[in-house]
């Protein structure tokens, strides 16, 4: 099967998560992603556990489908080879602190002189402009500063960090979207451009209704626990043997829900007939529904709600997720053959495409495993020239 980004070459200087997540998306869709890593050490995440036969499971999960070349970009000879690569690639990505690439003599203004069609994508904590630009950042920092922690956690409790590193992941996704947009523009107009994505910007962009609620009321939203701040009922309920998540997203579903819990009287009740009324009278409604849902098991309620189009689901732990029949039918857990870790399982490709489906076709690279091949095929170097670069510490 053809892939959407077949023929696109990406020179990937990113490390840890935001940048590698972006380039993983591109690689899944067929781009040739060449991961540039420091000799000996490589990407910092190679040192993040847990390990399988000495290989980082963390690194392997977000660097599939890529090739690895080692380069000491402070070495003049390595820079020469890097500039040669720039001539033949479409995209260069980096997630250093702003100014780092410029100090190395590798900033966008330099690279676009070598290749005017280059798309330069920079992901950073606060972006390349503004009063915070020079500050370092990690996921926890931007989750804190971006407001998402202030609306996460139990009601009355302290702000809570979201489990997955959404500060990094969202920035990676937005950077990938920016690259795809820039590739289309280049096709139409023949020129590249710089993409500047801030992790903090991305956190603000995904706050959803929290900002609109503040703008409408002047009151900063606070954590609501597991309930939705604007839709009722939309939260987990205790069953006789566990919990079930119920999401009554509109008044039509409310009517079906009331029928299935055998409380049709609630449909026309003046306290609960509409979502605004249910939100206003939440404290009165919640115990009524809580007592009803406790009368059956989770699976019994699931069967009833599924048969009647009422959104619901169990609260799965990770073991349940990776063994879920829907997740596996959609090939969201895939097995890779790694040369050192052997067979490992990682998340699959979530974007399903009818003609150009993305695939997991290659395990994450061993540090520098493709260095010689890339320098030979793309830069035309000989074995002896490559060996000399190794001797002087350039690669």
Q: For tokens 């048969």, name the residue.
A: 307
61, part of any domain: yes
220, part of any domain: no
Residues 170 and 288 in one domain: no
259, part of any domain: yes
Which value, to the nearest 10 degrees, does the dihedral of the CA atoms of residues 108, 111, 116, 118 take? Answer: -80
29, part of any domain: yes
The helix/strand/coil state of 160 is coil
Q: Which of 266, 296, 316 is at the close of a domain?
A: 316
Which CATH number is 290's domain given? 3.30.1540.10
Instruction: Give 173's strand partners.
Output: none
Q: What residues have CB less than 8 Å from 154, skipping those under 6 apart?
A: 160, 223, 225
Residues 304 and 345 in one domain: no
3, part of any domain: no
The per-residue pLDDT for range 36-86, each reduced to its tens digit, is 999 999 999 999 999 999 999 999 999 999 999 999 999 999 999 999 999
Q: For residue 273, what is the DSSP state?
A: S
In the chain, DSSP finds a helix count (H) and a strand count (E) of 17, 13
Judge if pTM exceeds 0.85.
Answer: yes
Residues 113 and 143 in one domain: yes
Per DSSP bridges, beta strands 91-94 and 119-124 are: parallel
Residues 309 and 343 in one domain: no
For residue 290, how many other CB atoms are within 10 A of its CB? 12
Q: For residue 193, what is the DSSP state?
A: -
Residues 262 and 371 in one domain: no
212, part of any domain: no
Q: Which of 316, 339, 368 is at the close of a domain?
A: 316
Distance CA 361, CA 232 (A): 44
Q: Which stretches in the chain have pLDDT values below 50? A: none
Residues 276 and 198 in one domain: no
Radius of gyration of the chain from Cα atoms?
25
Q: Are 363 and 337 in contact (CB under 8 A)?
A: yes
Residues 74 and 180 in one domain: yes
pLDDT at 1: 74
The per-residue pLDDT for range 270-302, each reduced to its tens digit, is 999 999 999 999 999 999 999 999 999 999 999
Number of domains in the chain: 2
Q: Which of 263, 289, 316 is at the close of a domain?
A: 316
Residues 74 and 183 in one domain: yes
Q: For tokens 């939100």, name the residue.
A: 279
Residues 250 and 147 in one domain: no
Q: Which residues are catalytic?
A: 168
Residues 329 and 312 in one domain: no
223, part of any domain: no
Residues 46 and 177 in one domain: yes
Residues 33 and 97 in one domain: yes
Which CATH number is 172's domain given? 3.40.50.10540
272, part of any domain: yes
Q: What angle do CA 123, 129, 132 make, to 5 degrees?
A: 85
Q: Are 314 and 245 in contact (CB under 8 A)?
A: yes
Can you give the residue range of the structural domain that contains 362? 9-206+325-391
Q: For residue 362, what is the DSSP state?
A: S
The b-or-e profile of 124-134 (16+ CB within 10 A means b, else e) is bbbbbeeeebe
Q: Are 37 and 118 in contact (CB under 8 A)?
A: no
Helix extents (H) in 222-348: 251-260, 275-280, 282-293, 298-307, 318-322, 325-329
């Amino acid at each position: 099967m053809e892939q959407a980004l077949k023929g696109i070459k990406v020179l990937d200087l990113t490390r840890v998560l935001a940048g590698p997540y972006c380039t993983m998306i591109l690689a899944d869709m067929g781009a040739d992603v060449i991961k540039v890593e420091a000799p000996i050490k490589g990407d910092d995440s190679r040192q993040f556990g847990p390990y399988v036969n000495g290989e980082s499971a963390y690194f392997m999960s977000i660097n599939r489908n890529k090739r690895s070349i080692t380069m000491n970009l402070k070495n003049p000879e390595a820079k020469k080879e890097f500039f040669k690569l720039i001539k033949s690639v479409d995209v260069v990505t980096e997630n250093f602190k702003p100014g780092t690439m410029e100090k190395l003599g590798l900033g966008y203004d330099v690279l676009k002189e070598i290749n005017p069609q280059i798309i330069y994508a920079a992901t950073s904590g606060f972006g390349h402009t503004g009063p915070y630009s020079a500050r370092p950042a990690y996921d926890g920092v931007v989750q804190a500063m971006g407001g998402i922690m202030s609306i996460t956690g139990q009601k009355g409790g302290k702000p809570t960090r979201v489990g997955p590193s959404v500060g990094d992941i969202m920035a990676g996704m937005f950077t990938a979207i920016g690259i795809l947009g820039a590739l289309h523009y280049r096709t139409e107009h023949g020129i590249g451009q710089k993409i500047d994505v801030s992790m903090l910007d991305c956190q603000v962009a995904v706050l959803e209704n929290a900002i609109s609620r503040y703008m409408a009321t002047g009151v900063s939203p606070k954590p609501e626990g597991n309930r939705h701040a604007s839709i009722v009922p939309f939260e987990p309920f205790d069953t006789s043997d566990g919990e079930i998540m119920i999401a009554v997203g509109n008044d039509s579903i409310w009517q079906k829900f009331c029928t299935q819990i055998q409380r049709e009287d609630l449909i026309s009740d003046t306290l609960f007939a509409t979502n605004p009324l249910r939100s206003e009278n939440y404290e009165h409604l919640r115990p009524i529904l809580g007592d009803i849902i406790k009368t059956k098991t989770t699976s019994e309620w699931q069967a009833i709600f599924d048969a009647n189009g009422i959104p619901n689901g169990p609260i799965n732990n990770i073991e349940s997720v990776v063994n879920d029949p829907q997740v596996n039918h959609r090939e969201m857990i895939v097995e890779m053959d790694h040369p050192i870790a052997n067979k490992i399982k990682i998340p699959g490709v979530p974007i399903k495409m009818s003609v150009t489906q993305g695939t997991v076709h290659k395990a994450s690279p061993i540090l520098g495993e493709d260095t010689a091949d890339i320098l030979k095929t793309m830069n035309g170097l000989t074995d002896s020239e490559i060996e000399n670069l190794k001797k002087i510490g350039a690669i």
